Structures are given as C-alpha cells and as structure tokens.
Amino acid sequence: MNFSFRAKTILGIALIEAVLLSILIYSTLSFLHDSNESQFATHVETTRNVFTSLISDEVLVADLAELDSAVNLLGKNPGVSFVRILDSQNRVLAEAGEAQALARPFTASVDLNDAANGVYRTASVIEMSGVNFASIQFGFDVDFLEDTFVTAKRWSVAIALIEMGLVAVFSMLLGGYLIREINQFTAGARQISTGVLGLQLPVRGHDEIAEATRAFNAMSMTIKTAHDSLERQVKERTGELEQSNHRLRNLLNERATLLDNQTVGLVTLQARTIMWCNSAFLQMMGYADLAEFQGKTTRQFYAHEEDFVAVGQAYQVYGDLTALKRDFEFIRKDGKLIWVDLSGSRLPIEGQSLWVIVDVTERVRSQQALERSEKKFRALFESTSEAILIMDGEDFVDCNSAAVRMFGAHSKEEICRRMPDDLSPPVQPCGTESVILSKQWIARAYAEGSVRFDWVHHRLDSRQSFAAEVLLSLVSLDGGQVLLAVVWDVSERQAMINKIRQQANFDHLTGMCNRRYFMDLAERELERARRYQKPLAILGVDIDYFKRINDNYGHKAGDIALQKFAVTCHEVVRQTDLVGRMGGEEFAILPPETDLGRAREIAERLRKRVEESELSLPDGETVLHFTVSIGLTLLPAAGEKTELDALLHKADMALYQAKNAGRNRVLIAE
C-alpha cells in the first residue's frame, strides 16, 4: 500500500505522539500503583504494630472485656475488614469485622497480589520471654486501590485521544506546506535523470528548503563536472589500484609482515627447527638473541618428552592442535617452568609453518588454585557436623552427609527432590503455614544477602519434629547466585532453656510458682484489679505442725507432705488462680476477681480436702493425716492504695491468728 508524503507525515507524528503518550501514561499509572501499594503496606504495618502494642497488656492478663472493646473499635476503622485475637491454643478471645471475611480460613498474604476476596491478611504474635501468649489476625480491604486505577486509566485514554486529534490536524497543515516545496525537487531530479546536467532551480527565501535548493543546484553542477572528468579519473584510479595491489602482494610474501612488536610469541619452523622468532618470544623464554637457538629443534623448550611427541603427531595428522585441547609446560633459559598455549599454521613456503605461543601461566595457575579451593570446600562441606544445603531459587541442588543424617533421608537425591516446606510440619509455632513462611525467608535472604531465624523441621523417616536454627546466605557459585543454608539442631538447647526457665520460675519440689515468680504475677493481677475495680483475694496457707512431721518421720516425709498438699491445692483452686510456695511449709493463693464469699468458700474447701486426705509414707505401713491453717484478706475498696507486701502481711497476720486459735481453720483479716 502506497502512502503520500502528507499521509506519512501525519502517521509518523501520530505514531511518535502515541508512543510517547503510552510511555507517559504507563509510567504515571505504574507510579500511582507503586505509591498506593507502598502507602497501603505502610498503613497495614503501622496499624498492626500499634494495635499489637496497645493490647499486649490486656492479652497477658486475659482482660476479655478490654479486648472486645479494642477489637470493635479497630473493626470500625475504614479499610479494616476484620480483626481476631487468638490465645496460644488458637481459641478466639475477641473478633470483629465482616462476617464473611471472618468465616473464611485465615492464610497470611505474601503481597497485594496474594490478597484473596479483596482482603489482605496479616498476623502478629504477642510473646514474652520466648512464650507465645496470643496471635492477632488482621484483614484489610484493598478494593479502593482498584477504583483509583480505573479512574486514572479512563482519564489517560481521554487525554490521549484529544492529543492525537490535535497532532493529526497539525500534521496535515505541515505536510501540505512541505509537499509544495518538494515537488520542485522531484521535477528537477527527473530532468537530470534524462541527461539535462547542470540544471538550476529557483531559490525562494532563506529557510531550510531554500538551503536544500541551493544544495541541489550545487549537486547538479558537481554531477556535471564529475561526468566530464569521470572517464579520465577511472583510468587514473585503475592504474593506482594495480600498483597498490602489487605492493601489497610483495608485503604479504615478505617476513616483514611478522611485526616484532607483537605481545605474543611468533616463531617460524621448518621440520620443527627454529628459523625465526620475534622479540616477544625471546623475552618470554628468557633469551637475548635468536642466535642462541636458531637452527635447533623446539625439543629444548618442552618440559615433557610426551608433549613434544604429541604436538608433532597432532600437527602432522590434523594440521593444528585442536585435537589436543590443552596447554603445555615450557622450560625457560633460567630453568623456570611456564604454561603456554600453542597454535600453528602452514606457510606458503614449502615445509615451513608459523606458530603463535601465548604465555598462559597466570591463567593455568589460577585454574589450579581454583581446583584446590574447590577440593577444600568439598572436603569441608562433607566433613562438617552442621547440615548444609545449597538452594537455587526454592530448589535444593546439593547437600552434605550431615543434612542426610539430620533429616532422616536415605540419600542426597531424596532431599534434592524435596521443596523446603517438605522438611517441615505444615504449620510453624507462630501459626503461619510453613510453605508461606519459608518463601518469605528465602525472598528476604535474596534481598538482604543473609538472614538467620528459628524454625521447626521434621525428619523424613519418622516425621518427628525438632527445633532448629537456620542461616541463609547468598553466595556466588558457578557464575550464579545461590543460597547456602546451614541448619543447626537446637532441640537440646531449647529443652535446656525450658528447663532453666522452669527452674527459675517454679519450685522444684511442688511444681508451684516460687516466691519471685508468684510476686511478679501477683503484682500484675493487683494492678489489673485496681484499674478495672475488680475484687481480689489473697490466702496465706501454712501446714500445721509441719516440724513434727520432719522430726518424727524425717525430711523425706516432709517433702511428701508438701507434694501431697500441692496436688490437693491444684485439685481445689481454679486454673486461673495463682498458687505459690513462699518458703518452707508456707504458701500463698491469689484467686483473681474473687469476692469475700467466694474466697472463703475456696479456703474452706481446701482446708477440708486436706483434712480428709491421707499421706502414705515410703515404708508402706505408716499413714499420716495433716491439716492447714488459712488466713484470708481482700483488696480494699477503691481509693485506698495498698501494696502487695501489705496484703500478704495482712493474710499472714490472719494466718497466725488461725494458728493461735487452734489451727485447722480459716480466719479473715480485720
């Protein structure tokens, strides 16, 4: 299809304008998209962190009323689809938001593209001293982002159509003007093609068209002048070309073409005898003059006889050394060994050949050093006790024997056929699925270069889970970037930490809170009771005549009595009540949100249960009975500031009064 110049002008300018507008619109929409996504991500992160920080205390004290209030307030926030708080057993403590969003299974979103049903889901964890107390699930509405993009696209298309219409009108006017000026060049060119040489066109104005007309006129005169002298010039140039070709052939046939300033060694041989070499070869081999080895064979340069024979045979059979595909060791004049690359070709002179020798000593030694380094790496890789795995993207490509043992696999191939989440239970302790969380850690390692985190793996043979610490490091391997994963089994260390935590917070004999831990927890309950004006009671408990048990039956019997009381106490009190051993045979009980009547009921039930219990000693024959005395006090009414030590003292005073009144009874502090 043929187009006029005017049409081409219109289409060309319109195409350029369309391309530029497309780039501008695409860049603008991309910037808008990235900006909105960044603001949305910042909003989500800020909301999650602030809300988690605000309710952490309420979660720790299990204040359900405050949690409901906070959740309902956040659920009314624009853009929040839902919010749910779960305890460490995944039981719902509070939730608010859209019913449909709450009813769907919760899966944390990786990014906005992963938001299901228009809801971006994320979660956070509330923990203290390594103990997971609760998790918070959030859902954020992302539909408003799509509305912004639709509006931007509509305006962009409208602006583009108006702009292209204006460009088309301008192009038509410009094309009409240019066509008129160009027509005279067309007519002049046709006349020149018919033999009218030296044609001159009229010049109008001083613009670019006028300059082009002058250039056309000058070209016309030049063509005429060139035509007149063309035949003479062709004859002269032909003679000069023949002379140049003759000189070039002479130069190519002369040895002078082998320039002495080449950086590689050049040698001419005849029957493997040296005829000539350049200075680069002399310097490479440590000689001062060609006369030192001219007329001698090249055998003196080879460090190994078999190399000299192999090169000669390969050259005779193939005419080059491609069949050998290796470097050779040469001996310098001073006895030092160097590595060289050889290549030879036959010369037009009968029996002669030209050889190029390149010193590749540094390259060969670097390769040898690399091979030694790789052997060392492989030896360390296999000998280390830590499990090491190499990942390309999300795929395992190699691992050491320690990894095979740690994960209970039969071979390395079995591990390399697995995905990272195949080596883990479906869900990690934080509540996130292993397949999602593993991808997040891998992406972070590629972005930051190195990342270290705690993880739970399981063995492939027994499916037994174990605690682990993982280090992902981005390293270069074979010209690419891979992840080096080092895995430590920290299950023993984790068990030791739990044991230390148990020993630090609980009495080893009775399993109750020790005095320090009881005081910490009681202070929180006391503060909570004051803040929300809740009732709170404290019971001081002491085993009656405990010294007689130790004196008459031994300390072992006393320990058994303490353990028996601990079991009985836990059978009577509620799971939310605090029970602590304050020292010796003295104990304290704090039942939260308990008034005087309920506290007295708990105390009497405990006293009676202990009185009715029997204590069998290790001899199998002796059965003892023992009793307890209990002192009870309550948190004063609002407005009276009372410290925990004062409450415990009042409970102790009531306890001593119970003992003085005959023991095995409950007295309330006045």
Q: Tell me if residue 632 falls in helix, strand or coil.
A: strand
pLDDT given at position 320: 62
What would the mean pLDDT of 378-383 be, rounded to a whole number?
73
- The last residue of a domain, from among 365, 395, 412: 365
Specify the pLDDT at position 258: 47
**Quick one: 453 and 510 in the same domain?**
no
Last residue of a domain, one of 121, 148, 175: 148
Q: 525 in a domain, yes or no?
A: yes
Asked if residue 527 belongs to a domain, the reply is yes
- If asked whether residues 626 and 607 sit together in one domain, one would say yes
Report d(CA 532, CA 190) in Å as an integer.
Answer: 104
pLDDT digits (tens, 9 = 90+) for 555-609: 999 999 999 999 999 999 998 899 999 998 999 999 999 999 999 999 999 999 9
Residue 200 lies inside a defined structural domain of this protein:
no
pLDDT for 128: 73
Most confident of 4-8, 64-68, 277-281: 277-281
Distance CA 39, CA 657 (A): 66
Helix spans in 459-595 (H): 491-505, 515-532, 546-553, 555-572
CATH number for position 300: 3.30.450.20
Give the residue-averaged pLDDT of 17-25: 72
Q: Residue 593: which CATH number?
A: 3.30.70.270
Higher pLDDT, 61 or 480: 480
Q: What is the pLDDT of residue 326?
A: 77
Q: Are strands 666-668 and 628-634 parallel, antiparallel or unpaired?
A: parallel
Name the token pair of 115: 């938001």
The mean-pLDDT minimum among 158-167, 415-424, 432-441, 461-470 falls in: 158-167
Residue 591 near residue 599, CB atoms below 8 Å: yes
The rounded distance, in Å, linking the Cα atoms of 124 and 283 is 71
Instruction: State whether 523 and 642 are in the same domain.
Output: yes
Q: Is residue 193 part of a domain?
A: no
| Residue 2 scores a pLDDT above 50 | yes
More confident residue, 65 or 319: 65
Mean pLDDT, all residues of the chain: 81
**Pair 273, 336 in one domain:** yes
Q: What is the distance in angstroms between the CA of the first residue and the CA of the last residue of the chain?
A: 111
If one compares 602 and 270, the residue with the highest pLDDT of the two is 602
Give the pLDDT confidence score for residue 7 in this predicted structure: 66
Domain identity same for 481 and 580? no
Among 450, 472, 495, the domain-final residue is 495
- Percent of the chain clearing pLDDT 90 (strictly above): 21
Q: How far apart are CA 601 and CA 469, in angstroms?
A: 50
196 torsion bin: left (phi>0), alpha (psi -120 to 50), beta (else): beta
Examine the domain organization and report whether 274 and 127 are in the same domain. no
Same domain for 539 and 644, yes or no, is: yes
Residues 462 and 313 in one domain: no
**Higher pLDDT, residue 513 or 37:** 513
Provide the pLDDT confidence category of residue 385 given band limits of 50, 70 and 90.
confident
How much is the pLDDT for 572? 93
Domain total in the chain = 4
Cα separation, 273 vs 351, in Å, equals 11
Residue with more model confidence, 17 or 32:
17
Please check whether residue 291 lies inside any domain of the structure.
yes
| Structure-block tokens of residue 267 | 């040698």
- Do 82 and 102 touch, CB atoms closer than 8 A? yes
pLDDT at 521: 92
Tell me if 486 is assigned to some domain.
yes
Give tens-digit pLDDT for 611-638.
Answer: 999 888 887 778 889 999 999 999 886 5
Q: Are 348 and 432 within one domain?
A: no
Q: 299 and 265: one domain?
A: yes
pLDDT band at 422 (very low <50, low <70, confident <90, very high): confident
Least confident range of 135-144, 181-190, 515-524: 181-190
Q: What would the pLDDT profile of 206-262 be if each residue is shown by its tens digit?
A: 777 777 777 777 777 777 777 777 767 767 776 776 776 566 456 545 544 544 556
Confirm whether 173 is domain-assigned.
no
Span 16-23, average pLDDT: 73
Residue 8 is predicted with a pLDDT of 63
Q: Are residues 483 and 613 in the same domain?
A: no
| pTM assigned to the model | 0.37
Q: What is the pLDDT of residues 349-366, one digit of tens each?
A: 777 888 888 988 888 887
Q: Whole domain around residue 636: which residue ranges?
A: 506-668
Least-confidence region, from 28-32, 426-430, 605-609: 28-32
d(CA 45, CA 42): 5
| 515 and 663 housed in the same domain | yes
For residues 466-493, average pLDDT: 86
Domain presence at residue 222: no
Q: What is the DSSP letter of 536?
A: B
